[in-house]
């Protein structure tokens, strides 16, 4: 008798949990985004951030559960992210970058898709550094950068 009651109690608790989860409104990460206009053309130099030791500037505008959106300006060394996909929209600057096992040309308006685990960077700008909007999903952990030669 105790086994039957225990089994029925567990089944009822599981069903109730499923039902409550189904009817509750999920927490939406978008609730944390602020409506805003970001004038990316006006963001230069320290308006983005002070340059790091490698000369890169980076400023994050949106950070939610599933992604981050930031602006990057500089010439990062060749690297990869094991756990984060990256999408870059080139705003300013032309030159070559490593993407996978080859160098490719980029220019303003290009959209660069970088699946996790793909070598990229090693930027060689023609003149000014390359400025891009970078979307990373899931958000890149601080230790998710592997420098490559």
Model's pTM, two decimal places?
0.75
Q: What is the dihedral of CA 44, 85, 83, 33, to 10 degrees?
A: 60
pLDDT at 80: 96
State which residues of the chain have pLDDT below 50. 7-9, 11-31
Both structure tokens of 122: 């090693």
Distances (CA, A) of 45 to 53, 60, 98: 14, 15, 24
Q: How far apart are CA 118 and CA 69, in angstroms?
A: 19
């Amino acid at each position: 008798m105790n086994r039957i009651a225990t089994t029925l109690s567990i089944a009822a608790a599981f069903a109730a949990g499923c039902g409550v989860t189904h009817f509750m409104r999920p927490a939406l990460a978008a609730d944390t985004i602020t409506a805003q206009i970001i004038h990316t053309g006006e963001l230069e130099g320290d308006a983005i951030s002070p340059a790091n030791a490698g000369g890169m500037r980076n400023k994050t505008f949106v950070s939610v559960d599933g992604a981050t959106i930031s602006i990057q300006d500089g010439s990062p060394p060749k690297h990869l992210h094991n756990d984060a996909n990256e999408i870059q929209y080139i705003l300013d600057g032309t030159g070559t970058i490593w993407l996978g096992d080859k160098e490719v040309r980029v220019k303003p308006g290009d959209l660069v898709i970088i699946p996790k685990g793909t070598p990229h960077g090693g930027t060689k700008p023609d003149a000014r550094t390359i400025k891009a909007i970078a979307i990373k999903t899931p958000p890149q952990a601080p230790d998710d950068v592997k420098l490559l030669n």
